[in-house]
Structures are given as C-alpha cells and as structure tokens.
Amino acid sequence: MTYLKISGMTCDSCVAHVKKALEQVPGVQSADVSYAKGAAQLATEPGTPLEALTAAVAGLGYQATLADAPPMESRSGLLDKVRGWIGAADKGSDGERPLQVAVIGSGGAAMAAALKAVEQGAQVTLIERGIIGGTCVNTGCVPSKIMIRAAHIAHLRRESPFDDGMAATPPAILRERLLIQQQGRVDELRHAKYEGILDGNPAITVLRGEARFKDGHSLSVSMTDGGEHQVGFDRCLIATGASPAVPPIPGLQETPYWTSTEALVSDTLPERLAVIGSSVVAVELAQAFARLGSQVTILARNALFFREDPAIGEAVTAAFRMEGIEVLDHTQASYVAYADGEFVLTTEHGEVRADQLLVATGRVPNTRGLALEAAGVTVNAQGAIVIDQAMRTSVPHIYAAGDCTNQPQFVYVAAAAGTRAAINMTGGEVALDLAAMPAVVFTDPQVATVGYSEAEAHHDGIETDSRLLTLDNVPRALANFDTRGFIKLVAEAGSGRLIGVQAVTPEAGELIQTAALAIRARMTVQELADQLFPYLTMVEGLKLAAQTFSKDVKQLSCCAG
C-alpha cells in the first residue's frame, strides 16, 4: 500500500476528483480517499512512480506528500467520526483533522477571517461569486479616494487661499488617463493584498461560484465555470457585503442612471450631474465630480448628514455652496425621465435637468440567494444578518461579519469583525466593542466623528456638557488661511468625561483617532486639555476645544498650555 497526505480537500466532490485523478495514473489499481482525514490509501503495482501520484493531486490544486499511515477506517466508521467532529468543540476535540471553515465572500471581513482561521489551525474554503477583494479595494474605498484626491489637486490648481501670490492655473482634466492610473492602483492592491495572498496559502481553497445553504452544515456552490460543488463545514462565516440601494422612484429603472460603481469607472465627466442622496457616498462623489469640472446638483430628501449633529450638515452645505455645488434640501424626485441624452427629475420644487444621474441612497446587504432559511439564519427587516458581539448569527456555529450584517458599514469594522469571528470559530471568545468607533467622510473639509453626539447621549439618558470651537481659533487653520468648519466635544455632565467628538475640518480624519483614544482611555476634557499637543497641527484643535470648558481660548497666547 501507498499512503498520501493531502491538504485542500473540503468535501465529497473533492474526494471524487482526487480519486479519479489518482486512478488514472499508470500503475494505480485503486485509491481510497478521505477529505476528513486528508489522506489517500492506494493499491499500486510495483515500480509505480511516486512523483506521478503527487503530481496528479497537485494538478487539481491540492497538495500531496508521501506518508506512512494506518489502514483507512471503514466508511461507516468515518461517518460516525465526522458526526463527532461536527458536534465537537471549536477546534475538533479528537485533533485528527483540522476544523473545516467555509467563508462566503472575499472582501475585508472574509480575508481577515480566513487568514486568522488558518493561523488558528483551520482548513478554509473561501467562496467568491465575483471579483476577488470585495467592495473596498475594487469599487469602494480605494478607487473613490483616488478620484477624490485627484479632484482635490485639480481644485487647488484652479483655486486656493494663496492665489494673490501664486497665480492659479486651471487644469486640463483628462479623465480617461486619471481612470487608467486609478484602476492600475486598484489592480495592484487587489493582487498584492488579496489574490496573491490567497494563491500563496495552501490552507485556503478558493472556489469561484455562488454559494447557498443546503442545511446547517453544508453549502452548494454553483461554479462560475459550470457545475455544482458541495462544501461541508464545521463553521461558516458569511461575509457577502452589500450593494448600492436603488429607491423605488417611478421611471428610474428605465433610465441609464449611475450608482457609485458606474460613476467610479466612467471615463467621461458629465457636464451636468444630478445626485440623489445626502450621506457619505453622495457627498464624496458629488464634490469630486464638481472639482473635476461637472456642474453638480444634490437632491437631499432632508438635509446633508441629517442623522448626524445638525452642525455637520450645515458646515458641509455651506462649503459646497461656496464651491458652486447646488444643494437642494428637503427635495425628492417623484419621477425620473430620460430622453435624448438628458435626465429630467420631477420634484415638488420644479424640474432638475442633468446629463447624468448618480443614485447614492445607501447600501443593501447581499443576503438574497444565500438560502439562509435552510440553515436557520435570521435577518432583520432590511435583510441584514443579525449578529451578536461575538459575530454569531442565530445559528451558533454560523457567523457573519461586515456589510451584510447589522454592523456599521466600514471596512475596518468588517475586518475587525472577521478576525474576531475566526477566533471565536476556533475556540476563543472575544467581542467587538464599537463604543469608540471613528468614522471619516472624505469631503473637503472632511467630516470625522467618534462616540456620542449630543442627541445620541440624550437618547441614552446621558446628560451632556458640550463645546463647539470654530476653526478661526485654531492656529493651523489660520496659517492655512482655511477656517471652514469646527471641532465639537461632548462630555458627560458632572464627571467631565469625554464621550464624543464631531469635527468638520481639513484632514479631520487625521485627528479623530486621537479623540477615539481619549474616549477609550475614559479621559476627562480637563485631562485632554492638559496634554501636550504639537503647535500648528490640526489635532491641536482638540486641546483648544477641551480648554474651552474652563477658559476663553481667545484670551490665550497662540501656543499657551
């Protein structure tokens, strides 16, 4: 008998492929293969080349090495042992095979979970129906921030606070070349941070296809290249992300509207762009297109950032209008028509006409088609998978993370959740604490928040003491000749403990983590005011805002401690 140790098999379908490949090797009389044991027992003729056996397995994408092993168990005995493994503790109590983990998706949450699960000793099957890498690197964070940065550069060449001494030079925008540069970096990061890592990790098997649950311990995968593949698992992570939401506006579906996906890869710039939406994606892309040369009109059902502190929406709206972006508050489209290359949006205040329409009204979880009911996984009214702090769903051995869940839709939250889910799947017990979760919107000025707003604190029964510092009190902003915005601190009344920060400033994203650490450390505003902050930095505004709780900062010298 000849024995092989085989890694990468995850189901009976894998076994069938390996068995067929081995039995086609000249000299092999029979092959008994088990994915549960990760092994094969072969009856071979004398002189059968052993390297041909390992090569046959490698040709299927698995790894095989020669091994000494006892005779294989009977099929019934093996099934009994598999049932024991499935019901055993997180790492498989008998230790005879690695825990089998299925991960649906390949974005931030999925990759973090897959890598941590492998680090913990698991064997992972990762299933992706589309492009590897998920939203952030392909159609979200990375391309949008590249486009926003290019637009920022274009804006500074066209207009800056120093134009009296430095003549502005309106740029020629070659959108198709900017797009090539943008997509080149996207491809580079996808390969370096996703595809390359997966290709180089033998403990992760990648299946390209669409997964759906058969029951609580198995998936059926409709393979992209045809056929069905069955995947059994001990633990499963659902990390399928979200897609742009499309509101049910009459006429909209019959038009060639954009979501953020199409907007980011367009190689042309519309002369007139209408944007439906009032939050992160809407405002980021609206300003980017405006700075690249489009005439932009935003239709906000309420006001910009209406779920945040009102001062945020007011500050961003004022900044946008100064740049020539038309912001229509309390305006909804009741009908959308498209003819002769023009969109016509009917609203309660009249018509809005545009050459292109961007719909950016939020995102919906990608949970349809997973047959979650077959596994007993619960979703909320929006279709998001309901999870607890440990990322467990309503089924204890099935976990979920990222934008397909009821968590905040940020890639760093998704990655942190994926890592913790993997730890919990493999025997640990950790939670994800979002009490000091920072958030950034990459407009100019940027919007950054962490912790409680005043309204949120009052909703939770917390009395507050708050201060708002305008940027004309921050030396860095004065030196930049750019005093748009503010920094607001929210403290718990009585204790003075810092519980929230809202900032609308240039580079607000670079100061908000300091605020998050202060909240995490349960600092009071006085303790924050007593810290050393480097002079002529925007983050010094946190210290100044903290000082306003006890003194008038207008009466301080410029770098007073």
Q: What is the DSSP string of 187-232?
A: HHHHIIIIIHHHHT-TTEEEEEEEEEEEETTEEEEEETTSSEEEEE
CA angle, 113 then 440 then 548, to 5°: 130
Catalytic residue among 9, 404, 425, 437: 9
Is 9 known to be catalytic? yes
Please state, in angstroms and rounded to a whole number, the distance separating the CA atoms of residues 198 and 289: 35
CA angle, 73 then 74 then 76, to 5°: 125
Please state, in angstroms and rounded to a whole number, the distance separating the CA atoms of residues 388 and 135: 23
Is 558 known to be catalytic? yes
- Is 512:492 a contact under the CB 8 Å cutoff? no
What is the sign, positive or negative, of the torsion defined by CA atoms of 325, 330, 333, 339?
negative
Catalytic residue among 136, 147, 236, 404: 136
Catalytic residue among 35, 62, 194, 399: 62
What are the residues whose beta carbons fall under 8 Å from the beta carbon of 288, sequence distance 6 or more? 144, 147, 148, 150, 151
What is the sign, positive or negative, of the torsion defined by CA atoms of 497, 503, 509, 510?
negative
Catalytic residue among 72, 141, 223, 412: 141
- Is 469:532 a contact under the CB 8 Å cutoff? no
Could you tell me if residue 185 is left (phi over 0), alpha (psi between -120 and 50 degrees) or otherwise beta? alpha
Strands 486-492 and 464-470: antiparallel
Is 11 known to be catalytic? yes
Catalytic residue among 14, 391, 404, 523: 14
C-alpha R_g of the chain: 28
Total Cβ atoms within 10 A of residue 544? 20
As a three-state string, the secondary structure of 81-126 is HHHHHHHCCCCCCCCCCCCEEEEECCCHHHHHHHHHHHHCCCEEEE
Is 62 known to be catalytic? yes
Tokens representing residue 434 in the block? 């979002």
Beta bridge partners of 297: 274, 326
DSSP 8-class letter at 73? P
* Nearest residue to 351 via CA among 247, 245, 251, 244: 251
Active site residue ranges: 9, 11, 14, 62, 136, 141, 558-559
